Amino acid sequence: MGSTVLSLRIDGELHDRLRDHAAKRGMSVQDYVVRTLIRDDFDERFKTAVDETEKFYGLT
């Protein structure tokens, strides 16, 4: 699996908040944002799997 560069333009206030959150965890802003995106992606995939399981078993 390769990697791709993603460039974002964000305002100063958001960057400051992200920097604060990242610093609390001993991370760079880049690592914090990537980890947040990975967690959000996992949450979406997990919810989809749960929904599909419920459909399969007729729970919805």
**What are the structure tokens assigned to 50, written together?**
């749960």
The answer to whether 22 and 28 have CB atoms below 8 angstroms apart is yes
Phi then psi dihedrals of residue 7, to 5 deg: -105, 135
pLDDT of residue 2: 87
pLDDT tens digits for the chain (60 residues)? 788 998 999 999 999 999 999 999 999 999 999 999 999 999 999 999 999 999 999 876
- pTM of the full predicted structure? 0.74
**What are the structure tokens assigned to 36, written together?**
């947040």
pLDDT of residue 47: 94
| Residue indicated by tokens 């001993």 | 26
What secondary structure letter does DSSP report for 3? -
